Each structure stands twice: as C-alpha cells, then as structure tokens.
C-alpha cells in the first residue's frame, strides 16, 4: 500500500523544504558579506579569496559560529551587520536541528501530536480498532490518526504505525493528562473501541464534558447486547454514537439470508444456534425481532449453554412463541448432536468463537444433514473457508467484513 504513508511523507518534505530554504538564506548572507569585502580579525584575506574559499568558511559558521574567525572588520557597515547576523543565525539553525532530532528519537509521536489538527483518536488497538483504521485509510489515506492503548506489546500497534501511519501513544486513555495531550479541541472524531464496555462509555462521556464541541463526533463500542439496550435509551446516546459489532453482523445475517430462506420454506423452521455466546445471542435476538412467525423450534448448543441461556432470558428474554431446547456440550463432540430432532431441512448457524471449530463442525454437519441450510460464522474473510464452503454448499459469514461495510460514512472523514 504505497499511498498510505503519502500524507506523512508530504509533511516531512514540506518541513525539509522550509528548513532548507532558511539554511540557504543564512548561508547566502555569509557568502554575500565576504563578497562585499568584509574581513575577519583572526583570518584575514577571506574576502580576497576564491568563491570556493568563501563558501567553505560560510559553511563553517553553522558549526562554530565564527569563533575561529574572529569579529567582522572592514568592508561596508551593512555587510558587517549581515555577517554578524550569520554568526548568530547559523549555529542556531544547527542547534535547533540537533534538539529536534533528539526529541524525535525520544518521543517521535509526542512531537508530531503537539502540532496535530483535524485528527482522529482511536482508544484501543484490538481487532475492531484495526478494522476501523483499515477502513479509514481506504477513504482517507492522509488523515492524521492517534491510536492509544495501555499495552506496549499489543499485536496491532506495529501494523498501525508502520503500515497505516498512525501515531502510537502507550498509556491509559482515561487519564486526564493524556487526554489533554491528545489535543481534543482540534480533533475531528474520537472512537472508544477498547474491550471494556464501561471504559468506552465512561470515557466518551468524560471527553464530552471536557470538549462539548465533540458532541455527535464520539463513538463508543458496547459488546454486551443487554447493556447496549439500556444505554441506548438514555440521554448519553443523544451525543455519542453507540454500536455493537455482533448486532451489525446478526442483523445483516437475518435480513439478507435467513428471511429469504424462511420465505422459501413453507413449514415453520427448526433453527440450531451452535455457539450461544455474544454472536449467537444477538442472532436469536434479531430472529425474535424480525422472524418470530417463522420459528417452530430453536435449539441452543454451547459448552456453558444453560448459564448463558439464563442470562439471556434475564437480560433480553425468550419469546414464548416457539419451542426451545438448551443443550450443553462441545460442538466437536458427536454426543452433543445425538438424538436431536432436527427434521430434514433445519437451519444450522455455527458461530462459536473459534473459526476453525466452526468450519470443521459445518463440514461434519453437512454430511449428516445434506438438506440443511448451514451458515458458518467467521471473523475474517478466508480464502480456504470460501473454497471449502462452495464445495460443501454452505455459507460463510465474515463478521469483520460486515462490520467494515457497515461503518457509517460520517465516521470515515
């Protein structure tokens, strides 16, 4: 991706252009003074020397500032003043370059952040944050980005910095000192995408108090669907965009695939949700909201399924319109699937947290239920998964791809 770092390269070239112009100007002042006949007390004869000799001593002024030449004497008074100016300006340019170089080595991002405007701040460096960064770079390759994470060894930090040109800050994004350093008053947008729902919401609300003009430009991710429902009904949601990645994927799955399948099958359907974590729970919530009249029997399967079903019933609620069966077990264990009454054309949604387990389970179930409609959840698009699914006639849904496609355009500016 050669264009991703173009913005950084352009800023670097602009910086060197004005620095080079200033250096040439000061060098020209010293050379002009010697050409006009100014001599120096400790090295007489420079003004009578060749142009190369005068250029040599003019360059030397950037290192020693005239300490080895002595004071200007002779020649026009204005030319002496020009040489005095060079005596002070040349070493100042050299010293500033050295100091700036040291600061860039010690705190390269901090130096750039202090001058940053119209930038995007991302709290967190997990999978969701990297998805957003990749999508942002497709739309805005030159947009300044600051990524903040507590973990200096976070997996995505090097990729974010080296490939996508983000400025990395290792620290607590909730810290008042750090927030002050992020130049919130000049930021275009701030996204809280850490793995902690409370931190995301609490910090977004805190930032809104610190910088009210960011209202409508704050984004917070909430992974808990029950928590999302509660928060969405509060005034916090008026100024902060709150979203759930699993809800985005589940809604797309139900609207574009399951509803069409239900319309093609006349009897009510048996739906198996294998993997009743956050994704599976969100799928069931969307089914109850959008396809309740198509459900006959819903079977939930997971290692800790009974507890998760109790939590879902308490926080979201099971609709009474369909039969429900909760079974605990490993998706890879044939005993988990023993004696299940699925009929000839069940809908099998395989969505535990392990993409490899999902794919292997789908292949085994396809051989056992050849007429089933099988959907496999995968986080990232997989060439191998796509090829296998085409041969085995089941569908793979990439959560990452759905999320990237669902980012509002307003978040990518």
pLDDT string in tens for the chain (413-residue length): 333 344 444 555 555 677 788 888 988 998 898 888 888 888 888 888 888 888 888 888 888 777 778 888 888 888 888 888 888 888 888 887 777 665 554 454 555 677 788 899 999 988 889 989 999 998 888 899 999 888 877 777 888 888 888 888 888 888 888 888 888 888 999 999 998 989 999 999 999 988 889 888 999 999 887 788 788 777 777 888 888 888 888 888 888 888 888 888 777 778 999 999 888 999 999 999 998 888 889 999 999 999 999 999 988 899 998 999 999 999 888 888 888 878 778 899 998 888 889 899 888 888 888 888 999 988 877 778 788 888 888 888 888 887 887 788 888 87
- Residue 231 CA to residue 312 CA, distance in Å, equals 17
In the DSSP assignment, the letter for residue 89 is: H
242 near 222, Cβ under 8 Å?
yes
Give the per-residue pLDDT at 324: 92
What's the pLDDT at 6? 40
- b/e string for 247-283 if b means 16 or more Cβ within 10 A? bbbbbbbbeebbeebbeeeeeebbbbbbbbbbbbbbb
CA distance linking residue 285 with residue 347, whole number of Å: 16
Q: What span, in angstroms and rounded, lies between the C-alpha atoms of 327 and 112? A: 55
The pLDDT value given to residue 306: 94
Question: Which H or E element spans position 146?
Answer: strand 145-149
Yes or no: say if 367 and 317 are a contact pair by the CB < 8 Å rule: no
The alpha-helical segments, DSSP class H, found in 163-266 are 176-181, 197-210, 225-232, 236-239, 245-253, 259-264
User: What structural domains does the chain harbor?
Assistant: 6-106 (1.10.287), 116-243 (3.40.50.720), 247-405 (3.40.50.720)
Q: Which residues pair with 374 in a beta bridge?
A: 348
Q: Is the pTM of this model over 0.75?
A: no
């Amino acid at each position: 991706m050669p264009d991703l770092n173009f913005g950084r390269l352009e800023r670097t070239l602009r910086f060197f252009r004005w620095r080079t112009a200033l250096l040439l100007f000061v060098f020209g002042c010293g050379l002009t003074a010697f050409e006009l006949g100014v001599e120096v007390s400790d090295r007489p004869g420079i003004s009578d020397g060749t142009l190369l000799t005068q250029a040599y001593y003019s360059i030397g002024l950037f290192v020693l500032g005239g300490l080895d030449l002595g004071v200007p004497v002779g020649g026009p008074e204005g030319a002496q003043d020009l040489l005095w100016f060079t005596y002070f300006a040349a070493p100042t340019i050299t010293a500033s370059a050295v100091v700036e170089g040291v600061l860039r080595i010690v705190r390269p991002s901090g130096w750039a952040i202090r001058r940053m405007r119209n930038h995007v701040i991302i709290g967190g460096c997990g999978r969701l944050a990297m998805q957003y960064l990749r999508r942002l770079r497709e739309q805005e390759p030159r947009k300044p980005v600051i990524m903040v994470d507590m973990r200096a060894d976070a997996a995505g930090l090097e990729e974010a910095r080296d490939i996508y040109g983000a400025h990395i800050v290792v620290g607590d994004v909730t810290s008042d000192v750090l927030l002050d350093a992020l130049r919130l008053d000049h930021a275009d947008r701030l996204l809280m995408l850490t793995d902690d729902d409370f931190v995301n919401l609490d910090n977004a609300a805190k930032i809104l108090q610190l910088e009210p003009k960011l209202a409508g430009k704050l984004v917070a991710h909430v992974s808990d669907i029950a928590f999302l429902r509660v928060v969405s009904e509060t005034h916090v949601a008026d100024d902060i965009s709150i979203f759930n990645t699993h809800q985005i994927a589940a809604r797309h799955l139900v609207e574009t695939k399951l509803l069409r399948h239900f319309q093609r099958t006349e009897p009510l359907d048996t739906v198996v949700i294998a993997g009743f974590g956050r994704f599976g729970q969100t799928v069931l919530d969307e089914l109850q909201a959008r396809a309740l009249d198509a459900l006959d029997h819903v079977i939930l399967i997971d290692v800790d399924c009974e507890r998760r079903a109790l939590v879902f019933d308490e926080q979201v609620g099971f609709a009474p319109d369909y039969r429900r069966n909760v079974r605990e077990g490993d998706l890879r264990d044939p005993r988990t699937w023993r004696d299940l009454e699925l009929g000839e054309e069940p809908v099998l949604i395989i969505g535990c947290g392990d993409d490899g387990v999902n794919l292997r389970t789908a292949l085994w179930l396809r051989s056992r239920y050849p007429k089933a409609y099988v959907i496999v959840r995968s986080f990232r698009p997989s060439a191998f998964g796509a090829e296998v699914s085409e041969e085995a006639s089941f569908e793979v849904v990439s959560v990452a791809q759905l999320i990237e496609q669902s980012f509002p355009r307003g978040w990518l500016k």
